[in-house]
Structure 1
Amino acid sequence: MTGYASAQHSASVEGGQEPQSSSRLGLEIRAVNSRFLDLSFRLPDELRALEPALRTLLTARLKRGKVEVRAAIDVTDNQSLSTPAASQLQRLLTLQDSIQAWLPKARDLSVADVLRLCSGSGAAGTDWSEIAPSLAEQAVTELLAARAREGERLSAMLLDRIQQLRELAKQAAPLVPQLVEQQRLKFLERWKEAMALGDGAVAPEAAQDRALAEATAFAIRIDVAEEITRLGSHLDEIERLLKKGGDIGKRLDFLIQELHREANTLGSKSATLELTRISVDMKVLIEQMREQVQNIE
């Protein structure tokens, strides 16, 4: 199922008497429909080493879907012109002297270099190894909650389509006996006409028996009672699964295929426009269900 969730965590870096800079880790999880679980990660270099742990976390809690995890680290200077700490300045001076001892032509640090290095040194060193997994756990929980809400909406839609299919099945059930009786009367009329043209060459009893036999064979060809019964059984099972919940996506997908098969058979046996219309309406509803079932885990 589709879903989106995000989580953020901010960390401040002390410099002198006040926070000199802050960094923020933002993590997003986007999920769209897929028959299987497909994970992809877009992580900054600082978090590359955490990908296996994040993959394990998501695999344990998600079963289906194309899931993309994005993370970004933003560093902000709160006081870009604040006075650097004495310890930072001493450290930079020591490093500069060491480098120039080996590289005499290396230039001295400028004021801008000092401010930049002092403001960014602490932020760049923030350890996200413990924070990132907890953010991912929080985002996955939000994602599952969002997918659960979507699942409730999908379930309501599917239950509505099930009710409409039941109504169509009720309309189709009485059509077959009426059609069989009409066809039987037509056969009898044709045999009476044939007898009149044949000047009594065929016995009335034989003509009537032949008409009844033809009507019976016709009834067998167009009988859709079995298809309607199976369709009702599949609808009952789908409704039961929706109320039960859990990982039901693949089972629903199979049952939708069976519904489509019964609706196709109903249409192939149709001998009236009314039954054909019912079959077409069923296929439309079943196709709507099929599209939404693809989004259910």
Structure 2
Amino acid sequence: MTGFARAEMGEGDRRWSWEIRSVNGRNLDLRLRLPPGCEALEPQLRQAVPERCRRGNISVQLDAARQGQPQSRYRVNRAALDQVIAAIKDVGLQIDAERPRLDGLLALPGVVERIEEEETEEAREARLALLLKGFGEALDGLVRMRAEEGARLARIALDQLSEVERLVGRARSLAAAQPEAQKARFRQQIGELLAQIPALSEDRLAQEFALLIAKSDVREELDRLAAHIDASRALVEAGGAIGRKLDFLCQELNREANTICSKSADLELTAVGLDLKAVVEQFREQVQNIE
């Protein structure tokens, strides 16, 4: 299921913003992008998302910014500078060269270090708690958006199930008339056959006709289709995490529709079976978007 949510928060001159995006996916795939210093949040995020979202490709991103430029402080790494000076003296005994300039020495990597702002443990815990609260707000927004989409998809799915049910009813009426039509065709074919070969016994004709009817009987498939429709409708109306169960029922609906097409000895019933397959496929595509 698709969705997007954003939440912003601030503390002093610092600002953070959460963005959560969700697109359709067969399973749950969670991706996190956190700025340095926020790695401690990852275990809690990975626990919170599956509790609210069961399927979908979900990406979570936290952006950090500061209002104005922070006042930076620097210090000279005396140990690194001493090593550089000692190396210069050693090389100067072997090579006649100009003395290095001060700005050149300070530009060497590691000689000048930036003093990072130290954060107390209390301040760190308060910052993480603030970020988790903001994440909870963003996750709530994502879940609401996905729920709204789910309600729309449920209406579409129920309409599609009603269409499948209508086609099953049409197939039943055609299947009920099929034995008589087959009997007429069978008698015609047998009449043509008997004109060329010795007569067959009535018992043998009855056996052959019974086998023909059994092979083309689709009543069991239609009964199973009706049961799968009822089960699918009950799941959609109940709501919740029903996507995987509906996936299975879609496979069963498609299996029965295929069998009807393969067993049908009537062009009109075959056409209804093909329509059934088309509507079931549309239903399956919608099910891929349901959690």
Give the TM-score category using the shorter length: 0.7 to 0.9
Q: Contact 1:8 / 1:25 at 8 angstroms: preserved in 2?
A: yes
Counterpart residue number, 1:39:
30
SS of 1:25's equivalent? Answer: strand
Q: Which has the higher contact order (CA 8 A, sep 6+)?
A: 2
Q: Cα offset for 1:179?
A: 2.5
Question: How do 1:83-162 and structure 2 match up within 5 A?
Answer: 128-162=127-161
Paired with 2:196 and 2:286, the residues of 1 have a C-alpha distance of: 60
Counterpart residue number, 1:170:
169
Paired with 1:282 and 1:223, the residues of 2 have a C-alpha distance of: 17
1:192-247 deviation digits (Å, cap 9, x = unpaired):
4555566xx638xx35x444433222111110000000000000001011111122
Question: How do 1:240-279 and structure 2 match up within 5 A?
Answer: 240-279=234-273
Q: Contact 1:188 / 1:211 at 8 angstroms: preserved in 2?
A: no
Counterpart residue number, 1:215:
209
Q: Cα offset for 1:100?
A: 11
1:144-174 deviation digits (Å, cap 9, x = unpaired):
1111111111111110010101111111112
Q: Contact 1:180 / 1:215 at 8 angstroms: preserved in 2?
A: no
Q: Cα offset for 1:288?
A: 1.3
Q: Cα offset for 1:76?
A: 2.4
Q: Contact 1:5 / 1:30 at 8 angstroms: preserved in 2?
A: yes
Identity of aligned residues (%): 38
Counterpart residue number, 1:7:
7
1:221-277 deviation digits (Å, cap 9, x = unpaired):
110000000000000001011111122111111111110110110111121221221
- Length-normalised TM-score, structure 1: 0.75
Counterpart residue number, 2:48:
57
Q: Contact 1:180 / 1:219 at 8 angstroms: preserved in 2?
A: yes
Q: Cα offset for 1:284?
A: 1.2
Paired with 1:35 and 1:249, the residues of 2 have a C-alpha distance of: 9
In structure 2, list runs of 5 or more residues that go unmatched: 82-101, 104-113
Q: Cα offset for 1:69?
A: 0.5
Q: Cα offset for 1:134?
A: 0.3
Question: How do 1:177-196 and structure 2 match up within 5 A?
Answer: 177-195=176-194
Instruction: Give the letter for the 2:199 counterpart.
Output: V
- Length-normalised TM-score, structure 2: 0.77
Q: Contact 1:38 / 1:65 at 8 angstroms: preserved in 2?
A: yes
Paired with 2:151 and 2:22, the residues of 1 have a C-alpha distance of: 17
Paired with 2:186 and 2:78, the residues of 1 have a C-alpha distance of: 115
Instruction: Give the letter for the 1:293 counterpart.
Output: V
Paired with 1:186 and 1:285, the residues of 2 have a C-alpha distance of: 31
